[in-house]
Structure formats: C-alpha cells, structure tokens
Amino acid sequence: MGSGHAGGYHLPMSQHTPTRIIHDPYQPPTDFEAPQPPVCKASTVFFPNVAAMRERTWLDKSAYTYGLHGTPTSYTLEQRLCSIEGGLHAVLVPSGLAAIACVNLALLHAGDEVLIPDNAYGPSKTLAEGELEHWGISHRYYDPMDVNDLADKIGPNTRLVWLEAAGSVTLEFPDLVAQARLCRDLGVLTALDNTWGAGLAFQPFDLLRCGDPDSDEAVGVDISAHALTKYPSGGADVLMGSVITRNPALHRRILLSHMRLGLGVGMNDVELVLRSLPSMDLRYHAADRSARHLAQWLQQQPQLAQVLHPSLPESPGHASWKEVCSSPEQPHGAGAGIVSVIFEEHYTQDEIDAFCDSLQLFRIGYSWGGPVSLVMPYDLTEMRTVWPEHLARGTLVRFCIGLEDPRDLEADIAQALLALPT
C-alpha cells in the first residue's frame, strides 16, 4: 500500500486518531476503468494552494471549484447527453420544470414576452402565469398546429418561443421545421421541451437531419430542455433535468442563471441516470412499439371517439411527425410510449374515473418513461384556452406505456372497458 501514498508522505503517528482518519494522505492508483464512471461527490473541492483557487474557473469545465458547479461525474453525464441530442453544452438541474424555469429566468427580463404552445406541459404554463407575470414578463399562448398563428403573435417584445413535440397530453405534433425557421428568420430564440423525443425520435438541433447542425441547410432550435426524470432515468425514481445548447454565449447565460439560482443536483442521482443511459434506446423503442400496438387496437374500441398517437395517420400532425421523426435509420419513425384517448362525449367523469380505477396493470400516476405503465384522466377545459377543432369532444385519458408485454396491457384495458355502461 505504501506505493499508493502521495509522494511517500506519512502523517506522524503522534497525531490523534480523528485527525489521522480525516487527513490520511493515501491516494489510490488513477488507472481504473470500468463500465460505469466513478461517482465523485463533493460540496467542498480542495485547492492545492491559494493561487490555484484564484486561477480556477468552472465556466468552461476546465477545473473544479465547488460541487454546485459540477464534478467529474456530472460533467460525464452532461457530455453524454450532448452526444445524444447533438448539442455542445449542457447543464444539469433538479427537474424538467427546473430546466424550463432556468431557461426563462436566464433569457427573459421585465418587459419581455414569451410565447407558449397552448398544448404545453401544464406546469410550464402555470410558471408563466405565476412567477413570470409577477416579475413583469408577459406571455401569450399560440396554436401549436397553426404556424400563421405563431407568426401573428410574435411581436416586438417577444424574446423566446417555447416549442413542444409532441404535446405531452394531447400529442399533436407541430410543424417543428416551419416553427424553427420562422423564429430564426425573425431573430427570436426557440426553446424546445424535448422530453417526448428524448434525442432519439429526432435531433432538436438538426430537424432535417442534414448531418451538420451548423450548415445553412440545417434547421433546429436554440435550446433543448429535457426532463431526465423520464426515459434517461428509466426507473421512475429520479428527478432531474437538462438544458442543452450549441451556442457558447447562450450557454453562458444559462449557466450563470443556474449558478445564481443554486440549481445543483446530487451525484447519487447522476450515477443512477448514467447507469440507465446505456439502455435508454432499447427502452424507448420498446415502449414505442407497445404504444403503437395499443393505439391501433384502441382505434377499434367503440367507447372511444378518438385515439391520439403521432404515428396514426388520423392523429393531428402526423405528416409533421413523419417528416421529423423518420430517417433512413428509422424508416417507420419513432415516438415515445404515450397514447391518449378521448372517450365518447356521453360518458361522465365518474364513469371515466371508474374505468381508470378498474385497471389492474396501469397504475394511476404522473410522469412516463418508467417500467410501470401509468394512466391519468384529464379535463381539457382546464388545460386549453380553446377546444381545438381537431380534438373530439369528451374526456381524455392518457396511457403512458411501460415495459410490460403489450398483450397484457391490451387485456387490462379491455377488462376495464367492460366497467363502462353500454
């Protein structure tokens, strides 16, 4: 063991036991390599001397100064997320909503306006209606399926446009390419909630997949916000988010906001995401296959007025989904394991609730991307400013597909449908 001591230095035995335990100079060999990276946890980071303390900077990830700004473990996860989504710069935050908040607070000031799709993730809308309004930042909602409506609402104070593909509850797939082009041509920043796509269904910074996000041909968003809580975690036991960009100046603004807000993450949680990341592609596509199987079967059920899944030709935005999510590598497209249905209008809320309660394998709960399938009823009148013409009237139920056999999930839904009156 002596060869592992730093410089052969030994603490004098005259020092007391607590001191010897804390200040033992042993350093293990550094040539360790394994499938999983080491977990480096710290709030305090040691500096070898005062000069090093004054010289080090955390902004470019060239050094370590304090655990809030990162350790080798968090830097590793950030780099791997960049590789997945095609970004160059990433920062980790405690949740997907924290990612949205960090972007808003980094880029918006009093007097600015942010535009949000009307089918956006609900907490993103309530954040705008609450905190952003309190700070003098206005917002408006636009029709995600009408690029002209977005164009009409972009005004002189619009500084940021949020995009979402697909909508997390109603699953419309917008014309992302047209939206991104419009905002780029008008000089307005775009931020995409990329939780559904996860960097696997499409590349947020290269929507046309020309292979070079910096090419004049490429069309993409400026920022990708991702709830790592979902597919990257995969276990339904971690809360985490990421903000990814390709623009160094934009990343610096986000990073400074992240620092000022203290949006650090625990390295034990980072470890869990790193451990799950190698299987994310397999899990994502498995859930996608199951969701498509169920979507096609659900279309045959007479109790349902509409089935929503972007792969269905009848689903709103199918053509846009096909344009962005299809490629030579995935000719049939890709999509997350989420299916929403709208029940015939004559069913009451109590009857729909009884249907959800009758399910055995689907558990009632929020989120998606975990191993267990979930179900949740939604009241669209509380979620949308107007009822879109492309959605049937009735109560919506969202199914988030886990890793169970789809035949068993189909049987579970079939038996629960029997609880509904004919």
Summarize pLDDT for 172-229 with one digit per residue, the tens: 999 999 999 999 999 999 999 999 999 999 999 999 987 777 777 889 999 999 999 9
Give the pLDDT score at 390: 94
pLDDT classification of 8: cutoffs 50, 70, 90: very low
pLDDT classification of 328: cutoffs 50, 70, 90: confident
The mean pLDDT of the chain is 93
Q: How far apart are CA 143 and CA 174, in angstroms?
A: 9
Which residue, 349, 344, 338, 406, is CA-closest to 375? 338
Does residue 4 have a pLDDT over 50?
Answer: no
Name the least confident of 7-21, 230-244, 396-410: 7-21
Domains of the chain and any CATH numbers: 67-278 (3.40.640.10), 279-417 (3.90.1150.10)
pLDDT classification of 10: cutoffs 50, 70, 90: low
What is the SS3 assignment for 78?
helix
pTM, to two decimals: 0.91
Give the pLDDT score at 215: 78
Give per-residue pLDDT as tens, 330-364.
899 999 999 999 999 999 999 999 999 999 999 99
Name the least confident of 24-33, 255-264, 390-399: 24-33
Give per-residue pLDDT as tens, 284-325.
999 999 999 999 999 999 999 999 999 999 999 999 999 999
Residue linked to tokens 């997945």: 84
Specify the DSSP class assigned to residue 302. T
Q: How far apart are CA 275 and CA 268, in angstroms?
A: 11
Q: How far apart are CA 272 and CA 229, in angstroms?
A: 11
Does residue 413 have a pLDDT over 50?
Answer: yes
pLDDT classification of 67: cutoffs 50, 70, 90: confident
Give the pLDDT score at 128: 95
Cβ distance 224 to 254 under 8 Å?
A: no
For residues 398-422, give the mean pLDDT.
95
Give the pLDDT score at 316: 97
Burial 314-350 (b: 16+ CB within 10 A, else e): ebbbbebbebbbbeeeeeebbbbbbbbbbbeeebeee
